[in-house]
Amino acid sequence: MANPFAELTEMPHPVYVMVGDGYRIATYAWGDDSDPTVVVVHGFASNTRDNWVSTGWVRDLRRAGYRVLAIDQRGHGASDKPHEPGQYDLRLLASDVEAVLDTYLVDTARYVGYSLGARVGWEVAQDFASRIERVVLGGVPDGIPLARLDLPQARAYVEDGTPVTDAVTQNYIRLTERVAGNDLRALLAIAEGMRMSGTVDPDPSRAPGQPILFATGSEDAIIEGSRALASASPQGRFVEIPGRHHFNAPGSRFFREAAIEFLGET
Protein backbone atom coordinates (compact mmCIF):
# COMPACT_ATOMS: atom_id res chain seq x y z
CA MET A 1 0.00 0.00 0.00
CA ALA A 2 1.29 3.45 -0.88
CA ASN A 3 2.25 5.66 2.02
CA PRO A 4 -0.13 8.65 1.97
CA PHE A 5 2.49 10.73 3.79
CA ALA A 6 5.36 9.95 1.41
CA GLU A 7 5.00 13.34 -0.26
CA LEU A 8 5.66 15.02 3.08
CA THR A 9 9.32 14.08 2.83
CA GLU A 10 9.55 16.00 -0.44
CA MET A 11 9.54 19.75 -0.97
CA PRO A 12 6.73 21.43 -2.89
CA HIS A 13 7.64 24.31 -5.14
CA PRO A 14 7.91 27.54 -3.16
CA VAL A 15 5.15 30.12 -3.26
CA TYR A 16 6.63 33.60 -3.00
CA VAL A 17 5.18 36.31 -0.78
CA MET A 18 6.24 39.91 -1.38
CA VAL A 19 6.92 41.71 1.89
CA GLY A 20 6.85 45.41 2.69
CA ASP A 21 10.38 46.28 1.59
CA GLY A 22 10.08 44.44 -1.70
CA TYR A 23 11.83 41.16 -0.94
CA ARG A 24 10.43 37.73 -1.81
CA ILE A 25 9.84 35.27 1.01
CA ALA A 26 9.57 31.61 0.00
CA THR A 27 6.72 29.71 1.63
CA TYR A 28 5.53 26.11 1.54
CA ALA A 29 2.18 24.66 2.52
CA TRP A 30 0.94 21.17 3.29
CA GLY A 31 -2.65 20.23 4.12
CA ASP A 32 -6.10 21.70 3.69
CA ASP A 33 -7.20 25.26 4.35
CA SER A 34 -9.85 23.91 6.72
CA ASP A 35 -7.26 22.35 9.05
CA PRO A 36 -5.82 24.38 11.93
CA THR A 37 -2.62 26.07 10.78
CA VAL A 38 0.82 25.70 12.33
CA VAL A 39 3.44 28.18 11.09
CA VAL A 40 7.00 26.80 11.33
CA VAL A 41 10.04 29.09 11.21
CA HIS A 42 13.58 27.69 11.06
CA GLY A 43 16.82 28.76 12.68
CA PHE A 44 19.92 30.58 11.48
CA ALA A 45 21.70 29.02 8.47
CA SER A 46 18.91 26.46 8.09
CA ASN A 47 15.79 26.35 5.90
CA THR A 48 12.41 24.66 5.70
CA ARG A 49 13.77 21.41 4.28
CA ASP A 50 16.61 21.13 6.76
CA ASN A 51 14.76 22.16 9.92
CA TRP A 52 11.26 20.79 9.38
CA VAL A 53 10.98 18.35 6.47
CA SER A 54 14.08 16.16 6.81
CA THR A 55 13.57 15.93 10.59
CA GLY A 56 9.98 14.65 10.38
CA TRP A 57 8.19 17.71 11.73
CA VAL A 58 6.01 18.29 8.67
CA ARG A 59 5.09 14.61 8.51
CA ASP A 60 4.14 14.40 12.18
CA LEU A 61 2.26 17.69 12.24
CA ARG A 62 0.19 16.55 9.26
CA ARG A 63 -0.50 13.22 10.95
CA ALA A 64 -1.77 15.22 13.93
CA GLY A 65 -4.27 16.98 11.66
CA TYR A 66 -2.58 20.32 11.08
CA ARG A 67 -2.08 22.36 7.98
CA VAL A 68 1.63 23.29 7.94
CA LEU A 69 2.75 26.66 6.61
CA ALA A 70 6.55 26.96 6.46
CA ILE A 71 8.68 30.01 5.82
CA ASP A 72 12.24 30.31 4.53
CA GLN A 73 13.35 33.39 6.46
CA ARG A 74 14.91 36.19 4.44
CA GLY A 75 18.56 35.38 3.80
CA HIS A 76 17.80 31.65 3.77
CA GLY A 77 16.56 28.86 1.53
CA ALA A 78 14.74 30.05 -1.59
CA SER A 79 13.98 33.50 -0.18
CA ASP A 80 15.79 36.64 -1.25
CA LYS A 81 19.19 37.07 0.37
CA PRO A 82 20.18 40.72 0.72
CA HIS A 83 23.77 41.39 1.81
CA GLU A 84 22.98 44.59 3.75
CA PRO A 85 22.87 44.15 7.56
CA GLY A 86 20.09 46.72 7.80
CA GLN A 87 17.71 44.31 6.05
CA TYR A 88 17.75 41.90 9.01
CA ASP A 89 16.23 43.88 11.83
CA LEU A 90 14.35 41.53 14.15
CA ARG A 91 11.14 43.47 13.63
CA LEU A 92 11.47 43.03 9.88
CA LEU A 93 11.74 39.28 10.32
CA ALA A 94 8.62 39.31 12.50
CA SER A 95 6.75 41.46 9.97
CA ASP A 96 7.63 38.91 7.28
CA VAL A 97 5.64 36.33 9.26
CA GLU A 98 2.68 38.70 9.45
CA ALA A 99 2.84 39.28 5.68
CA VAL A 100 2.75 35.53 5.08
CA LEU A 101 -0.29 35.12 7.36
CA ASP A 102 -2.04 37.95 5.52
CA THR A 103 -1.25 36.53 2.09
CA TYR A 104 -2.53 33.09 3.03
CA LEU A 105 -5.61 34.62 4.71
CA VAL A 106 -4.79 32.97 8.01
CA ASP A 107 -6.64 34.67 10.85
CA THR A 108 -5.21 32.59 13.70
CA ALA A 109 -2.40 30.06 13.87
CA ARG A 110 -0.08 28.18 16.15
CA TYR A 111 3.63 28.96 15.88
CA VAL A 112 6.71 26.75 16.10
CA GLY A 113 10.17 28.30 15.83
CA TYR A 114 13.69 27.13 16.47
CA SER A 115 16.73 29.23 17.46
CA LEU A 116 16.54 32.43 15.36
CA GLY A 117 13.01 31.37 14.40
CA ALA A 118 12.17 31.11 18.09
CA ARG A 119 13.58 34.56 18.83
CA VAL A 120 11.45 35.89 15.96
CA GLY A 121 8.54 33.97 17.47
CA TRP A 122 8.92 35.81 20.77
CA GLU A 123 8.33 39.05 18.83
CA VAL A 124 5.52 37.59 16.72
CA ALA A 125 3.68 36.36 19.82
CA GLN A 126 3.90 39.86 21.33
CA ASP A 127 3.18 41.94 18.26
CA PHE A 128 0.40 39.81 16.77
CA ALA A 129 -0.98 38.25 19.94
CA SER A 130 -4.56 38.06 18.69
CA ARG A 131 -3.47 35.86 15.78
CA ILE A 132 -1.09 33.46 17.53
CA GLU A 133 -2.88 30.98 19.80
CA ARG A 134 -0.11 28.73 21.10
CA VAL A 135 3.65 28.93 20.68
CA VAL A 136 6.59 26.52 20.74
CA LEU A 137 10.01 28.19 21.09
CA GLY A 138 12.86 25.73 20.69
CA GLY A 139 16.39 26.77 21.62
CA VAL A 140 15.31 30.37 22.06
CA PRO A 141 18.31 32.62 22.70
CA ASP A 142 17.90 34.62 25.89
CA GLY A 143 20.01 37.44 24.45
CA ILE A 144 20.66 38.98 21.06
CA PRO A 145 20.57 36.22 18.41
CA LEU A 146 24.00 35.09 17.23
CA ALA A 147 25.71 37.11 19.98
CA ARG A 148 28.19 34.27 20.55
CA LEU A 149 29.37 34.42 16.94
CA ASP A 150 32.81 36.05 16.59
CA LEU A 151 32.02 38.52 13.83
CA PRO A 152 35.61 39.53 12.94
CA GLN A 153 36.61 35.88 12.53
CA ALA A 154 33.47 35.07 10.55
CA ARG A 155 34.01 38.10 8.30
CA ALA A 156 37.65 37.18 7.65
CA TYR A 157 36.61 33.64 6.75
CA VAL A 158 33.96 34.86 4.31
CA GLU A 159 36.20 37.47 2.70
CA ASP A 160 39.48 35.60 2.31
CA GLY A 161 39.19 32.14 3.86
CA THR A 162 41.11 32.92 7.05
CA PRO A 163 40.72 29.90 9.34
CA VAL A 164 38.32 30.30 12.26
CA THR A 165 39.69 29.46 15.70
CA ASP A 166 36.70 30.29 17.93
CA ALA A 167 34.85 27.03 18.68
CA VAL A 168 31.33 28.46 18.61
CA THR A 169 32.00 30.30 15.37
CA GLN A 170 33.46 27.10 13.89
CA ASN A 171 30.15 25.35 14.69
CA TYR A 172 28.18 28.06 12.91
CA ILE A 173 30.48 27.91 9.87
CA ARG A 174 30.07 24.14 9.69
CA LEU A 175 26.31 24.59 9.88
CA THR A 176 26.27 27.14 7.09
CA GLU A 177 28.35 24.93 4.82
CA ARG A 178 26.32 21.83 5.56
CA VAL A 179 23.08 23.26 4.19
CA ALA A 180 23.00 23.49 0.40
CA GLY A 181 22.30 26.90 -1.07
CA ASN A 182 23.46 28.98 1.89
CA ASP A 183 24.92 32.37 1.04
CA LEU A 184 27.69 33.10 3.53
CA ARG A 185 27.63 36.83 2.89
CA ALA A 186 23.90 37.01 3.56
CA LEU A 187 24.31 34.98 6.75
CA LEU A 188 27.10 37.26 7.91
CA ALA A 189 24.83 40.24 7.21
CA ILE A 190 22.16 38.65 9.43
CA ALA A 191 24.61 38.33 12.32
CA GLU A 192 25.79 41.92 11.84
CA GLY A 193 22.27 43.23 11.45
CA MET A 194 21.13 41.76 14.75
CA ARG A 195 23.75 43.87 16.53
CA MET A 196 23.52 47.04 14.46
CA SER A 197 19.75 47.45 14.45
CA GLY A 198 19.21 47.87 18.16
CA THR A 199 18.02 44.32 18.72
CA VAL A 200 17.70 43.82 22.46
CA ASP A 201 17.44 40.87 24.79
CA PRO A 202 13.95 39.39 25.26
CA ASP A 203 12.25 41.45 27.95
CA PRO A 204 10.78 39.11 30.59
CA SER A 205 8.53 41.94 31.78
CA ARG A 206 6.91 41.90 28.32
CA ALA A 207 6.64 38.15 27.97
CA PRO A 208 3.87 37.01 25.60
CA GLY A 209 0.72 35.94 27.36
CA GLN A 210 -0.18 32.93 25.22
CA PRO A 211 0.57 29.36 26.29
CA ILE A 212 4.23 28.88 25.32
CA LEU A 213 6.34 25.74 25.39
CA PHE A 214 10.07 26.46 25.73
CA ALA A 215 12.26 23.53 24.73
CA THR A 216 16.07 23.50 24.83
CA GLY A 217 18.67 20.75 24.66
CA SER A 218 20.26 19.54 27.86
CA GLU A 219 23.70 20.20 26.37
CA ASP A 220 22.87 23.66 25.00
CA ALA A 221 24.78 26.54 26.60
CA ILE A 222 21.65 28.72 26.59
CA ILE A 223 19.46 26.29 28.54
CA GLU A 224 19.31 28.29 31.76
CA GLY A 225 18.43 31.47 29.89
CA SER A 226 15.64 29.65 28.06
CA ARG A 227 14.40 28.21 31.34
CA ALA A 228 14.33 31.72 32.84
CA LEU A 229 12.23 33.03 29.95
CA ALA A 230 9.77 30.20 30.52
CA SER A 231 9.51 31.11 34.20
CA ALA A 232 8.85 34.75 33.30
CA SER A 233 6.06 33.92 30.84
CA PRO A 234 2.53 33.93 32.31
CA GLN A 235 1.66 30.63 30.63
CA GLY A 236 5.18 29.37 30.01
CA ARG A 237 6.30 25.78 30.33
CA PHE A 238 9.79 24.35 29.94
CA VAL A 239 10.97 20.97 28.71
CA GLU A 240 14.56 19.82 28.47
CA ILE A 241 15.45 17.93 25.30
CA PRO A 242 17.65 15.10 26.58
CA GLY A 243 21.11 14.56 25.11
CA ARG A 244 20.85 17.34 22.55
CA HIS A 245 22.87 20.49 21.91
CA HIS A 246 21.81 23.59 19.99
CA PHE A 247 22.64 22.28 16.55
CA ASN A 248 20.96 18.85 16.68
CA ALA A 249 17.90 19.46 18.86
CA PRO A 250 15.48 19.94 15.91
CA GLY A 251 15.93 16.28 15.00
CA SER A 252 14.84 15.01 18.42
CA ARG A 253 11.74 12.82 18.42
CA PHE A 254 11.19 13.78 22.07
CA PHE A 255 11.07 17.44 21.05
CA ARG A 256 8.61 16.80 18.22
CA GLU A 257 6.29 14.72 20.36
CA ALA A 258 6.31 17.18 23.26
CA ALA A 259 5.62 20.07 20.90
CA ILE A 260 2.77 18.37 19.05
CA GLU A 261 1.15 17.28 22.32
CA PHE A 262 1.38 20.87 23.60
CA LEU A 263 -0.09 22.34 20.40
CA GLY A 264 -3.10 20.07 20.74
CA GLU A 265 -3.98 21.12 24.29
CA THR A 266 -7.01 23.29 24.92
Domain housing 130: 11-263
In a domain, 3, yes or no: no
158-175 pLDDT per residue, tens: 888 899 999 989 988 888
20-68 pLDDT per residue, tens: 889 999 999 999 999 999 999 999 999 999 999 999 999 999 999 999 9
- The CATH number for 24's domain is 3.40.50.1820
Q: Which three-class secondary structure state does DSSP give residue 66? A: coil
Residue 222 and residue 228: Cα distance in Å, rounded? 10
In a domain, 2, yes or no: no
Residue 51 and residue 48: Cα distance in Å, rounded? 5
Q: How confident is the model at residue 206 (pLDDT cuts 50, 70, 90)?
A: confident
245-256 pLDDT per residue, tens: 998 999 999 999
In a domain, 4, yes or no: no
Residues 6+ apart with CB under 8 A from 124: 94, 97, 98, 111, 113, 132
pLDDT at 87: 94
- Residue-wise over 145-172: b if at least 16 C-beta within 10 A, else e? bbbbbbeebbeebbeeeeebeeebbbbb
How many domains is the chain partitioned into structurally? 1
Residue 200 and residue 17: Cα distance in Å, rounded? 27
In a domain, 187, yes or no: yes
**Count of C-beta atoms within a 10 Å radius of residue 35:** 15
C-alpha R_g of the chain: 17
